[in-house]
Amino acid sequence: MSYFEQVSEATGFLQKMAELKEPPDVAVVLGSGLGDFASGLQGSRKILYKDIPHWPDSGVIGHEGALVIGRTADRRVAALAGRAHFYEGYDLRTVTFATRAIGMLGVKTIILTNAAGGINTSFSQGALMVIDDHINLLGSNPLAGPNDDRFGTRFPDMTTVYSARLRHLADEAGGALGMTLPHGVYVGLQGPSYETPAEIRYLRTIGADAVGMSTVPEAIVARHMGLEVLGISCISNMAAGVLPQPLNHEEVLATTRRVRGQFIALLEGIIGRI
């Protein structure tokens, strides 16, 4: 079975299980510790990743591993509570399988969220950063290999990966909540080890404001399929060398738990404006 046929099978399964008569208005990919948004959707149906044909599961703490389809802010939403990562041993076509299926469902807008390390020293822990652009340092690209024109063109333009319209809506939604959202450049690395202080100094030098181990492959594939993309990073910890303390995943989850109310309110505000 070809990759396109696998994505088609997964899409057909979702349409049947969720009884979709029309596609969701927006999809939201929820990063580490940010999955509470999915549980608040109204009239929701939950489908575990392990039950969806060919869909990769996520074995990372803080990722539930479920697709939840429901409503919020009078919009139909597909919320992906967790994602597969390159560092788990998946290839990038598998990492982006969910993005392909969401696009094939007919979703036109996707919000990619993550927990990230703060490189920009003006950021505070718990800040919600709007991604203006990214740097791909994963060492590979999800579009490498034969191109299937049914997904998108061989050489997709990446001049504006993250929609200016959606970034403006994020600022509007943040302003309505009394939040001034920082903007910045997100750099994607493979992981799973955190970066060294020397690597963080290098990343700051080349223009990165936040660093993480996801999002970039999904954004590339979403643009390949013509989806409009918004990216939001929760600055869950300051990157190596910024503060005199070691890094750990428990700190990431503690920070995302602390800001989950703001995060959910911001997402609802953005979605209501789409």
For residues 102 and 78, the answer to whether their CB atoms sit within 8 Å is: yes
Given the residues 213, 222, 238, 239, the one annotated as active site: 213
Render 225-243 in DSSP notation, one character per residue.
Answer: TT-EEEEEEEEEEEPBTTB
Q: Which of 216, 224, 161 is nearest to 190 (CA)?
A: 216
Q: What is the pLDDT of residue 207?
A: 97
Mark whether 115 is an active-site residue: yes
- The conformation of residue 189, written as its DSSP 8-state character, comes to E
- pLDDT score of 107 more than 70: yes
Mark whether 63 is an active-site residue: yes
Candidate from 70-84, 158-172, 183-197, 249-263 with smallest mean pLDDT: 249-263
- pLDDT score of 26 more than 60: yes
Q: What is the pLDDT of residue 19?
A: 82
- pLDDT score of 35 more than 80: no
Mark whether 90 is an active-site residue: no
The token pair that represents 242 in the structure block:
């910024």
Mark whether 193 is an active-site residue: no
The parent domain of residue 188 ranges over: 3-273
Query: pLDDT-derived band of residue 270, with 50, 70 and 90 as boundaries?
Result: very high
Q: What mean pLDDT is predicted for residues 93-102?
A: 97
Given the residues 3, 9, 39, 88, the one annotated as active site: 88
Q: Is the dihedral of CA 116, 122, 126, 128 positive or negative?
A: negative
In one letter, which amino acid is 168?
Answer: H
Given the residues 8, 58, 214, 233, the one annotated as active site: 214
CA 234, 28, 136, 235: dihedral to nearest 10 degrees? 0
- pLDDT score of 61 more than 80: no
Q: How far apart are CA 33 and CA 103, in angstroms?
A: 24
Q: What mean pLDDT is predicted for residues 37-44?
A: 88
For residues 234 and 128, the answer to whether their CB atoms sit within 8 Å is: yes
Mark whether 183 is an active-site residue: no
Given the residues 3, 17, 73, 87, the one annotated as active site: 87
Q: Is the peptide bond before 182 cis (omega within 30 degrees of 0)?
A: no
pTM of the entire predicted model: 0.93
Query: pLDDT-derived band of residue 18, with 50, 70 and 90 as boundaries?
Result: confident
Candidate from 19-23, 194-198, 253-257, 268-272 with smallest mean pLDDT: 253-257
Q: How far apart are CA 224 and CA 156, in angstroms?
A: 6
189 phi, psi to nearest 5 deg: -120, 160
pLDDT above 90 coverage of the chain, percent: 74
Q: What mean pLDDT is predicted for residues 144-165?
A: 96
Please name every residue paired with 117 in a beta bridge, in sequence order, or none if there are none.
211, 237
- pLDDT score of 212 more than 80: yes
What's the CATH code of the domain at 228? Answer: 3.40.50.1580
Residue-wise pLDDT tens digits, 238-267: 665 465 555 556 666 677 677 788 889 999
Q: How far apart are CA 105 and CA 137, in angstroms?
A: 29
The total domain count for the chain is 1
> Between residues 179 and 32, which one has the greater pLDDT?
179
The token pair that represents 132 in the structure block:
């203006």
Given the residues 249, 251, 254, 265, the one annotated as active site: 249
